A = this chain, B = another copy of it.
């Protein structure tokens, strides 16, 4: 009883302490900041974030957006810009939280465009549409645009590259998040040291297989927009598109990657000539994006568990993703995990209704399900080749008491493909948070 209570207190009280860094390494030639400008009603929470490329050369950008048919105004405007400029000469970001500027008609588009033009102006960006815009929050209300447009010049004078500036920026894009999500790291390619830094907001409306939330990351590595686009697609597929909180996909989901080349070195393209450095950069960005995406799951609305679903020996990578996503989105699996219940029947069930096409994708008599304890102790087999195992319930309870749960599914198809997918549990708190979000 005591042990359970201790774990629970640790989960609730110290998520921020455990997952928010107290220092960081930040890429050259970028300044960021966050202020309260008057979107959030409490009068003090940060609600406006900005990033500016201060390097002498223009930066390149790539972005992935929600596939929802009701695209918010900032999504419509930013995707137009990335397309029109082919990812070239994009040097700043302006982001507000507290209002999604979604389903706001022609005025919403105008507001998003004015956020861009004012930002371009105060930052002295040389070409038009040098800024991408994002918004997150409640749907269907017009932005308090005066407050935002007054905030932009103010914010532009407060940018910096310290850890505190980055943390303020990360806080300013949060909504129901319980902690800001900020990650940074160094890596080397061909002896040159580069830096990656990024932030995200999540909490609810997180769904796999789409651009799934608001976030951006920047690097001082030199890379072409074409190569960056390819890397972003690959890494998003294995990070932000491999997570799920509640299976809902928002009207605003956007992930942006920006690179300014300020750290020097040879330009990385997607040609065969720079294949090695391209692969290195892709590997670094993918693992970085996974870390950031996993923080979104850690802070899933009401989440008490961080669940890794590992699919092995699927027929195809696509099959592995579909099956992982089906498990990760099952309300019954997620409530069982919340209740620390080793109900593998629900896991199996959700594998069984996954929308895979081939009759060979799932073979009930070859399917294995195990729990992998997060303390490194021996795994617990629940189902081996379709046969239920005598489960030691005490051992199962020990494993399920951990905050981090690992479920391994071996499909035994001989296809040898696999994937990892991250999700959280479904708790009373999720219902409380979402039962009355707007008020």
Contact = CB atoms under 8 A, between A and B. Distances in A.
Interface of A: 67-71, 100, 102-105, 138-141, 204-205, 207, 210, 246-251, 329-332, 335-336, 338-341, 343-346, 348-353, 362, 364, 383, 386-388, 426-428, 430-432, 434-439
A139 B348 contact: yes
Nearest to A433: B335
A339 B247 CA distance: 19
A140 B345 contact: yes
A437 B346 CA distance: 11
A69 B103 contact: no
Main secondary structure of the interface of A (DSSP, over half): loop
Contacts of A364: 69-70, 103
Contacts of A362: 69
A71 B364 CA distance: 9
A341 B439 contact: yes
Contacts of A428: 428, 431-432
A35 to B, nearest CB: 26
Given A205-B332, A349-B139, A431 B434 contact: no
Contacts of A69: 351-353, 362, 364
Nearest to A364: B70
Given A332-B434, A341-B435, 10 more contacts: A69-B352, A70-B352, A71-B352, A102-B345, A140-B383, A247-B329, A248-B346, A251-B352, A430-B431, A431-B431
B386 A343 contact: no
A246 B332 contact: yes
A329 to B, nearest CB: 8
9 contacts: A69-B352, A103-B383, A103-B388, A139-B348, A210-B353, A249-B353, A332-B434, A335-B430, A428-B431
Nearest to A142: B388
A412 to B, nearest CB: 13
Nearest to A342: B438
Contacts of A430: 331, 335, 431
A318 to B, nearest CB: 16
Contacts of A332: 204-205, 246, 248, 434
A438 B353 contact: no
Contacts of A138: 345
A139 B240 CA distance: 33
Contacts of A251: 345, 348-349, 352
A433 to B, nearest CB: 8
A341 B436 contact: yes
B70 A336 contact: no
Question: Which 7 pairs of residues, A with B, have the shortest CB-CB distance?
Answer: A139-B345, A339-B435, A335-B434, A70-B352, A68-B352, A339-B436, A69-B352
Contacts of A437: 336, 339, 341, 343
A378 to B, nearest CB: 21
Contacts of A352: 68-71, 249, 251
A335 B435 contact: yes
| Residue of A105, A247, A248, A251 contacting most chain B CB atoms (<10 Å) | A248
